Structure 1
């Protein structure tokens, strides 16, 4: 066994550690990312070549077919990897825009779809929506109740949010949300399940 083979894992660990430290340095991040991508592509390409030319079984037709199918699946994974790396190759130049820098914020309708969830679950979700760090006059919260429950209507009244229901349950949750959209006019729509409690900085 050669010296390189013996210490190869340690060598790779050192290389990856150096690349990680360089990646954390902002001016070098884009360059280091591309180096890592190239190394990963070359490593995966070498692996695929090794699988194709040195590991396929030749004893028996069944073994050969199974081996080819396995390598084909690995090749598909490699192609998916190439697509992913193509998407992330170019650095993102999006600038973060603070809400306070905008002259006007769009109105947001929050739809909380419910059918038979416990009231306590709904309370937490509604409370989370009311606690969003977004101008209160631009947020409209709707309890979209497909269960037609008086307790949910009372909950909406208690928290000062809107209550919506419909005469039938056609198309289940999708129909519930479509009905809500026909009754509201917000510029943006956020749909939540009954047990989804948004954090204050959700948007």
Structure 2
């Protein structure tokens, strides 16, 4: 049932562009929702968007700080595997922070993009069936790409969290005292004077890592 609903949503079953003007914000509601979540909108920001953005920013800064510390440690001990892993996370998180900054710095340009969407939808409403069909075919493909992207990101984040939990459960089920193994962390954590294999450092790192992934 859920899959059928998703397919209907994905394929926009029941949508009819011949009924008149189509609101672009209603048509591309997934895209618009994500834009509003990051306060990329000409409308007054809703309260929940402040919570969302602050939460994302705090998690991003925290995880980036840890990744930088881990990268520094990896270079210091010249561990190529750790250098590659931690360095990759540093680049990814820098890209995330850059995106957050760009949405603020270039807010006016994003607003122009959204206004251009309105103009395009208003213009196509004056055209005949032939042009509307081609226009909404492209718009539907764009809508699908947005849904696929959001779904992929959600599944990826959820999978990482489930993998982390599964790895910990497997460790707890197979670990025996004195076997030399440590509780697993999905991401490399390192900080001066902190042993992340012991409590409560492990629990804090494990929880923060999973929250950071979902953010």
TM-score by length of 1: 0.31
- Per the normalisation by structure 2, the TM-score is 0.30
1 or 2, which has the higher helix percentage? Answer: 2
The structure having more radius of gyration, on CA atoms, is 1
